[in-house]
C-alpha cells in the first residue's frame, strides 16, 4: 500500500531536501514547489513565506536532535553516567539515519542564530540545572558546558568530518557505520576518564 501524504507534508519534505542541499540563502521557493510537485500559490497558502517554511524545517530537525537528548538530560532520576550512555546511543542512531543533520544545523546556525537560539532555549532551561545539580552532588570537577560539549563533540564530529575521514582512508566507506557504532560504546568511558572527582577540602 502506497503512503498517502498531504500537499503540506510534500512541501515540507521538498523544502527539507532543497534547504539541506543548497542552504537557506540559495534556495528559491519555486524550486521547492517544483520538487513537491505543486505550485507557488499552494506553497504560499500553507506557509506564507520562505522564512516560515524554513522555520518549520529547522524546527523538525532540531526536534529530532533535542528529543535524543532533552528528556534524558532533564530527568533527575537518570544518573550522569547513564545519561551519557543513553545520549551517545540515541545520537549515534539518529545521525546514522540522518547523516546530513549536523552539517545542516552548523551551516544554517551561522546565518540564523536567533531562530536556533530561540528553539533550543527551552531544552537548555530544563536540562542544565538538573545536570549541574547532579555534577555537584557527585563531586565531579567538570562544568555543565564542558560535559555537554565534550559528549556531543565526540558523538557528532565523525559525522561532520566524514568526507575527510573517508577520503583520507582512515575509515573505509563500508566500515563507517561500524566505526561510529563502536565509538558509542567507548564514549561514556572516555568521558568518565576525563572527569575527575574534586579533592575534599
Task: Check residue 1 and give its pLDDT.
Answer: 40
Residue 140 dihedral angles phi and psi, to the nearest 5°: -85, 130
Tally the domains of the chain: 2
88 in Cβ contact with 181 (< 8 Å) = no
44 and 54 in a single domain? The answer is no
CA 135 to chain centre: 24
85 in Cβ contact with 188 (< 8 Å) = yes
Task: Check residue 4 and give its pLDDT.
Answer: 63
55 compared with 181, residue with greater pLDDT:
181
Task: Check residue 38 and give its pLDDT.
Answer: 92
Give the global pTM: 0.75
33 and 67 in a single domain? The answer is no
141 in Cβ contact with 194 (< 8 Å) = no
Predicted confidence (pLDDT) per residue in 66-110, tens digit: 788 888 999 999 999 999 999 999 999 988 988 878 877 777 777
Structural domain including 30 reads 1-48
Amino acid at each position: 500500500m502506497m503512503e498517502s501524504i498531504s500537499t503540506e507534508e510534500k512541501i515540507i519534505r521538498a523544502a527539507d531536501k532543497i534547504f539541506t542541499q543548497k542552504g537557506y540563502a540559495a534556495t528559491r521557493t519555486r524550486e521547492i514547489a517544483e520538487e513537491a510537485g505543486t505550485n507557488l500559490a499552494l506553497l504560499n497558502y500553507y506557509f506564507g513565506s520562505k522564512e516560515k517554511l524554513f522555520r518549520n524545517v529547522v524546527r523538525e530537525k532540531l526536534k529530532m536532535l533535542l528529543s535524543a537528548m532533552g528528556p534524558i538530560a532533564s530527568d533527575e532520576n537518570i544518573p550522569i553516567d547513564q545519561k551519557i550512555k543513553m545520549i551517545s546511543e540515541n545520537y549515534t542512531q539518529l545521525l546514522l539515519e540522518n547523516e546530513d543533520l549536523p552539517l545542516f544545523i552548523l551551516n544554517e546556525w551561522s546565518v540564523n542564530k536567533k531562530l536556533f537560539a530561540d528553539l533550543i532555549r527551552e531544552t537548555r532551561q530544563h536540562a542544565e540545572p538538573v545536570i549541574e545539580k547532579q555534577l555537584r552532588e557527585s563531586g565531579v570537577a567538570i562544568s555543565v558546558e564542558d560535559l555537554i560539549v565534550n559528549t556531543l563533540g565526540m558523538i557528532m564530529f565523525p559525522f561532520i568530518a566524514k568526507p575527510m575521514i573517508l577520503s583520507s582512508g582512515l575509515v573505509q566507506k563500508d566500515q563507517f557505520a561500524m566505526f561510529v557504532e563502536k565509538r558509542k560504546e567507548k564514549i561514556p568511558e572516555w568521558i568518565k576518564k576525563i572527569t575527575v572527582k574534586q579533592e575534599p577540602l
